[in-house]
């Protein structure tokens, strides 16, 4: 039997949703399937998202941007939106039991030098990490 699926949605599926997917997948291990998608996928994972995740030992370089429609026939137990636009357009998935919205700033809009942009990616990564690791701890406690 497949483990329950958790789908993380964002508009572009290039930054926030991939940060959250990597962090949540790392925290939950094999107990859950964790995926991400977007309502208007950018078609790539932002290179600075990959870089800041490598800094904390999580490799998301093999992730790719995908549309939420790819999951409409999947058994998705939980949907988590990480931006307001995705929350507004989020469909109901077959078998969906839980839905959460935790909005985060989009680091892809950061300006300035690469170091200033990296600082924004790190800030958002760390905010996502606090929320999603706490969520993962609660889910793992519930399994025990």
Q: Where are the beta strands (DSSP E) in 11-144?
A: 33-38, 76-81, 98-101
Convert the pLDDT of each residue in 85-112 to its tens digit. Answer: 765 666 666 666 788 999 999 999 999 9
Q: Which residues are catalytic?
A: 10, 83, 90
What pLDDT sits at residue 65?
95
Q: CA of 67: how far to CAs of 39, 52, 96, 105, in Å?
A: 6, 24, 18, 20
Mean pLDDT within 53-61: 98
Q: Give, for 9, the enclosing helix (H) or strand (E).
A: strand 5-10
pTM for the whole thing?
Answer: 0.93
CB atoms within 10 A of CB 16: 32
Convert the pLDDT of each residue in 112-130 to its tens digit. Answer: 999 999 999 999 999 999 9
What pLDDT sits at residue 119?
98
What pLDDT sits at residue 89?
65
Is 82 within 8 Å of 7 (Cβ atoms)?
no
Convert the pLDDT of each residue in 20-50 to its tens digit. Answer: 999 999 999 988 999 999 989 999 999 999 9
Q: Give, for 40, the enclosing helix (H) or strand (E).
A: none
Of 59 and 88, the one with more pLDDT: 59
3-state secondary structure of 67: strand
Q: Which CATH number fits domain 5-143: 3.40.50.620, 3.40.50.2300, 1.10.10.10, 3.90.79.10?
A: 3.40.50.2300
End-to-end CA distance of the chain: 18
């Amino acid at each position: 039997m497949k483990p329950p699926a958790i789908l993380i949605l964002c508009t572009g599926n290039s930054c926030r949703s991939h940060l959250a997917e990597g962090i949540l997948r790392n925290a939950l291990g094999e107990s859950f399937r964790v995926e991400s998608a977007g309502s208007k996928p950018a078609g790539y994972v932002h290179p600075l998202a990959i870089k800041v995740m490598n800094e904390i030992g999580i490799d998301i370089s093999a992730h790719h941007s995908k549309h939420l429609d790819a999951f409409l026939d999947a058994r998705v137990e939980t949907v988590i939106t990480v931006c307001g636009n995705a929350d507004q357009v989020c469909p109901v998935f077959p078998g969906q039991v839980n839905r959460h919205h935790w909005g985060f700033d989009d680091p892809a809009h950061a300006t300035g030098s690469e170091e200033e942009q990296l600082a924004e990616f790190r800030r958002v990564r760390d905010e996502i990490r606090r929320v999603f690791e706490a969520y993962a701890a609660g889910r793992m406690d519930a399994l025990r």
